[in-house]
Chains A and B, each alone.
Chain A
Amino acid sequence: MNGNGKQRILDEIDNYQDSVFAIIGFINFYRFDDAAGEMRSDVVAFQGRKLTPSSEKAVNSDGNAVKYLTPDLGVLLPTNSGVLGEVKRSFPSEEQYWFDDFGQLMAYDDDLLGWPSATGTVASHDVALIVHQARGKAVCRFYDKHHGNKIQFQRPFCIVEFNRSNERQAYFFFRTAVGHLTDVSVNAKLENGVQVPMWALTRAYSEIKIYDNEPPLAYLLYLIWEHVINAKASENPKYAGLRKRQRLGVELSVDEVVVELHEKFSFHQLHKQTSDRQPKIPNQEWVKRAFDRLVKAGEAEWVDRAEGRLKAQFSRHDDVLAHFVEICAVDEDLAGQLNLFEENR
């Protein structure tokens, strides 16, 4: 193992967490009432909600039917207006693929159905791209270059850059780079740039660990192991006396993991009143892949793969995350070697 695989996985986990933090930070510009010093009860926020496109946009540019759109974030204001946004911690290195990302955002520029309002619609909404500052300038240039021809928005569109500080007081910084938001107060804040101290959102950061984007496998395995398998194992009277290399069988199912992580570590708490169009996160396929990796690592065996039932062999790891990063890094390094082999053929 050369260590690059491990570092790459750790970077991916970091990026994934930053995306979660950015979603939380952005929606709180709308949810938090500065004057009252509390969360507004009349603002509804959502993550990964399934919105139905209008008939004009029900087929994408490739000719494929689009059943749902699932923006990274959405905000419904009491004025029956809203915001839909997509958070991009990273962009592909080749710009030609950026049209796909803008295509996704342009799909949100539509009379979508399924908003958590009484009618399922809104009178108007903004579209926002929340992009990491490292790519912000390049993305803005790309937008400026293609705006009006390949990239077109009818509704207010803006690009908001975000960055995490490297100072001792950790904060997320947000600033509008292009365009504007309709909400005057939020727009004014973001035009000047806002620092969101991370300590202020520690609870949310600890309670929400996944969103509707597949997390790095090592991170998902860590979440499953520490918060589902460990929790079940700890109900066994033998748990406390378990020695370092001893194992404890724990039966669990894909559905069980989905429910546990969804209810306890996703944006689920935001959707309790508006859960109708909210998919369960993590989705079953992600969990099944994680189970497969546990089986491959010899830390579990399938009881019934078709039914998604697994028997994990719980044991004590000194550093659960590092353990799974190491396991997944083997896959990364192997994939890297295979690529080299393919290139040299």
Chain B
Amino acid sequence: MKTFDFLDAFYRAKHDEDELLDDLSGVLSAESASVCLIPFGCEAESVEWLDDRAKGKRHAILINRQRRLSEFRLDYAFKQAGEERSKSGRFFVLRDPEYPKVFVALTVEPNEFFSRALMPFLAGFYPQVLLTFITHKRLKQLIEEFKAGGDYQGLIITKASQRLRWQEGSHLVHAMPVVSWPQMSLDQAFDWVHQNNGWFQSIQFEVKDSDRIVATISVTRQGIVKANGLLHRAYKGFTLPVCKTIHENVTLFSRRARLAHPDLSSSPLVVEFDTNQFSEVEENNRLVQAMRKLRTASVSVLHGNPYVHLSILDYHDGSTFDLWVLDERRIILVPQLKASVAAIKRLINHIFDDYAEGSLSSYRGVGE
């Protein structure tokens, strides 16, 4: 019996930016598939420049473009069982209606396309393409709001991967002891990870409504969402807020370099913690050790105790920073002459991933 190929039909149809999510939802209801949504920031207000661009064995071709929506074909090659294989897949890029430098890549292709082709392709364009990160607290808040907004009976965590930061007497632990996620409430799961000084790399949950599982959704720390149902709700509940975060971060991280100011003045950022993070001197050493793990960078310690003063150089683009800890609650990050948005984001991301999460703001000194 010949079955109807919904995906093929979907690709043959023309899509409109306002109806793309409806069209993708249609595919989900007919096929056993998931839609993957990857929010990212970009230096340009369009992604046309991705046309005919290659990264390694991945090559993109722009197929259609209309206003905020672009459709690409991505050809990729890989080795499997010693044999070179090549495949193709499609993805869309939708520009955010509010933030012109924020985009969402969407694909309904299988997981293999996501992990072998699309993600490495996009990540390969760093720093022109910037993914983001969402804090542990924010991720929990988004999931709670998603649950409350849909009035769902329950969200059951089915899978999660987490990273635990350095702890006294141990090395960085990446593996999780056996914890039975489905038996844990959201609060318990998030508290467990938080108390173990970690964060969720990704979390997958089933959405239950009237005892029926209506969707399985996963969200990563980078704000990447996979959903096999409730696409509109997932987009509204996770992707749009993450787009806003990207926009806010790009705005906050822009024009921080001293060279961006005629008087060469600095524009520091502050990472503020909820608690007296640095009440013990030993904490300085933990921060220094965590910062030394920053890859493709030089981390020089000008002072380690009782205050911390580091000089950081990012070898991706030559951005430089001073990092200070001068009281119990704050890290002050001073971008030097050159400090790109990508480098600032990478540095903050590293602090949050490898040391601790705090809230970000602009520094205000005395008389400012």
A37 in the interface (beta carbon within 8 A): yes
Residues of B near A226 (CB, < 8 A) are 298, 300, 311, 313, 320
Given contacts A197-B327, A202-B326, A264-B264, contact A240 B336 (CB under 8 A): no
Q: How distant is the Cα of A239 from the Cα of B338 in the complex, in angstroms?
A: 15
| Inter-chain contacts of A343 with B (CB < 8 A) | none
CA distance A269 to B264 in the complex (A): 8
Closest Cβ–Cβ distance, residue A327 to chain B (whole Å): 14
0 or 1 for each of A248-270: is its CB under 8 Å from B? (1 = yes): 00000000000000011000010
Interface residues on chain A, size class:
35 or more
Write the A201-213 contact mask toward B (1 if CB under 8 angstroms, else 0): 1110111000000
Which residues of B from 255 to 271 have beta carbons under 8 Å from A? 258, 263-266, 268
* A242 smallest CB distance to B (angstroms): 7
A65-73, A99-107, A160-168, A273-281: which one contacts chain B?
A160-168
Chain A 289-324 interface 0/1 with B at a Cβ cutoff of 8 Å (1 = within): 000000000000000000000000000111111100
* A14 at interface by CB-CB < 8 Å: yes
Q: Is B221's beta carbon under 8 Å from chain A? A: no
Query: Which residue of chain A has the shortest Cβ distance to B298 in the bound complex?
Result: A320
| B306 and A166 contacting across the interface, CB-CB below 8 Å | yes
Instruction: Kindly provide the distance from the CB of A201 to the nearest chain B CB, expressed in whole angstroms.
Output: 7
Partner of B298, one of A202, A239, A318: A318
B292 CB → nearest A CB, Å: 8
Q: Are B338 and A165 in contact (CB under 8 A)?
A: no
CB distance from B255 to the nearest CB of A (A): 15
Which of B41-49, B97-105, B109-117, B360-368 is the contact stretch?
B360-368
Rounded to whole Å, the gap between the CB of A280 and the closest CB of chain B is 16
Total count of chain B residues near the partner, CB < 8 A: 43
Report the Cα distance A33→B366, complex, angstroms: 10
| Max chain A C-beta neighbours (<10 A), residue from B318, B322, B328, B332 | B318
Q: Which A residue's beta carbon lies closest to that of B300?
A: A321
The residue of chain B having its C-beta at the shortest distance from the C-beta of A319 within the complex is B300
B316 part of interface (Cβ distance < 8 Å): yes
Minimum C-beta distance from B284 to chain A (A): 10
Asked if B76 is at the interface of the complex by the 8 Å CB criterion, the answer is no
Cross-chain contact B266 with A203 (CB below 8 angstroms)? yes
Tell me the bound Cα distance from A202 to B328 in angstroms: 15
6 extra A-B contacts, CB within 8 A, seeds A169-B327, A233-B318: A17-B303, A202-B326, A203-B365, A206-B334, A231-B318, A234-B317
| B interface residues (Cβ-Cβ under 8 A, vs A) | 258, 263-266, 268, 276, 278-279, 281, 292, 296, 298-303, 306-307, 309, 311, 313, 315-318, 320, 322, 324, 326-328, 330, 332, 334, 336-338, 363, 365-367
Pick the 4 closest A-B CB pairs, nearest first: A234-B318, A321-B300, A170-B307, A206-B334
